[in-house]
Amino acid sequence: MPWTGVDIGGTLVKLVYFEPTDFINAEHEHEAEVETLRTIRHYLTSNTAYGKTGIRDVHLEIKNFLIHGRTGTLHFIRFPTCEMQAFLQLVKSKNLSSIAHTICGTGGGAYKFAQDFKNIVDMELEKYDELDCLITGIHYIDSKLPNECYYWSNPDPFNSEACEKVPFDFRNPYPYLVVNIGSGVSILAVKSQEDYGRVSGTSLGGGTFLGLCCLLTGCQTFEEAIEMASSGDSTQVDKLVRDIYGGDYDRFHLPGSTVASSFGQMNIPERRASVSKNDLARATLVTITNNIGSIARMCALNVGIERVVFVGNFLRVNPLAMKLLSFAMEYWSKGAIKALFLEHEGYFGAVGALVQLLNKNEE
């Protein structure tokens, strides 16, 4: 049978699906199960988009993946949480419940939609803590993929071309902070695979960025908001140190380019009239990343940890935010802290739920 883990967040649903590719040679498979698996495989591999909003992140899939003696492909799929009912109808139409009676889930939506899974597709949605699943997923994927972790060298918010992606050895990471940027932000201190806890967070996360961009620019999707931000100029919106001091603030070693007040120029009618939607999107991104970076830096200082890992779907198709976070962490820590990132970004909760299912099957 296939295995699935799902993380139902406030904005996005992240689904990890293990597609066995060796079922033809597996004597213990029932003929009906094999036929259902073939149907699912055909639907999955012949599409990268499902309906109007479902996306399979092909660049993240892991081939020749071994789970419990079975070889297959690990797929990573996402869709907006508001499309959950359409997803359940799709699961029903593909007859997935005939080969899987239980699905392990995490995130707030695992509680919200549990009854819908039972009523619509006749599947039990077993619920697991989202922070437990996050940490489990990170360690599980990192144990399988040696180049999962990386950082950006030479971070410069004014010259992103100077940044270079560099692999980082994450085999002995403890202790470290995890900054999980989803709709909001949770920050965990991880001392070992079993010893971790939430130390802080903020309501200003990826959902805030998208919501503000939709209000300020009229964009409709996260991808559109990021595209606009990539070509915008936040200095047309923000008030900088040089706008106040005429240059650097030497006493506290603050360069003139430092943001003194996010959106601080927007109280001036002439500046509001001249600013573009792209500028507003860029300023929103800078505001959110600066806030997250500042909180992460203070948490690292408070708990005495110098390794900070950023994850979450806010970082998807968003190298600009990664570079801004890298610059903020390096600048304010005077080079003591590097911002680390992971290739599978926002899928670790779903992977952790999948691991829970694997453990359950072993019992």
**Residue 33: per-residue pLDDT:** 62
Cβ-contact 62, 145 below 8 angstroms:
yes
CB 181 within 8 A of CB 314: yes
Confidence of residue 34 (pLDDT cuts 50, 70, 90): low
pLDDT band at 103 (very low <50, low <70, confident <90, very high): confident
Percent of the chain with pLDDT over 90: 62
Section 119-133 average pLDDT: 92
291, pLDDT greater than 90? yes
CA angle (27, 32, 33) in 5-degree steps: 65
CA atoms of 211 and 225, how far apart (whole Å): 10
Region for 144 from its dihedrals, namely left if φ exceeds 0, alpha if ψ lies in -120 to 50, beta otherwise: alpha
* pLDDT tier, 36 (very low <50, low <70, confident <90, very high otherwise): low
Residue 206 pLDDT: 95
Does 254 score more than 60 pLDDT? yes
* Residue 2 pLDDT grade (very low, low, confident, very high; cuts 50, 70, 90): low
pLDDT in tens, 302-353: 999 989 999 999 998 889 999 989 988 887 788 888 899 999 989 999 999 9
pLDDT at residue 1 in the model: 47
Helix (H, G, I), strand (E, B) or coil at 220: coil
Question: Which amino acid belongs to residue 298?
Answer: M
Answer with the residue of higher pLDDT: 251 or 215: 215
- 98 vs 164 pLDDT, higher one: 164
pLDDT in tens, 189-242: 999 989 999 999 999 999 999 999 999 999 999 999 999 999 999 999 999 999
**SS3 of residue 333 by DSSP:** coil
Provide the CA 235 distance to its chain's centre, in angstroms: 27
Q: 222-230 and 277-303 are packed helices; what angle lies between their axes, rounded to 10 degrees?
A: 100
Amino acid at site 348: F
Distance CA(43)–CA(90), nearest Å, equals 11
How far CA 97 is from CA of 122, 128, 268, 300, in Å, comes to: 7, 20, 59, 45
Cα atoms found within 13 Å of the Cα of residue 131, Cβ hemisphere only: 17
Calculate what percentage of the chain has a pLDDT beyond 70. 92
Strands (E), 94-175: 102-106, 124-128, 149-153, 164-167
pLDDT of 101 over the 50 cut: yes
Residues whose CB is less than 8 angstroms from the CB of residue 332 and which lie 6 or more positions away in sequence, other chains included: 293, 294, 297
Residues 6+ apart with CB under 8 A from 134: 178, 180, 188, 311, 348, 349, 352
- Enumerate long-range contacts of 269-276, CB under 8 Å, 24 or more apart: 271/236, 271/237, 274/236, 275/236, 275/237, 276/232, 276/236
The CB-side HSE value for 247 (13 A sphere, CA atoms) comes to 2
Q: How confident is the model at residue 29 (pLDDT cuts 50, 70, 90)?
A: low
Q: What is the mean pLDDT of residues 40-48?
A: 72
Active site positions, annotated: 130
**Pick from 142, 85, 145: nearest CA to 311:** 142
- The whole model's pTM is what? 0.88
Residue 25 has a pLDDT of 52
- Looking at residues 131-152, what average pLDDT do you find? 92
Contact 233, 282 (CB under 8 A): yes
For the chain, the average pLDDT equals: 89
- Name the amino acid, one letter, at 302: N
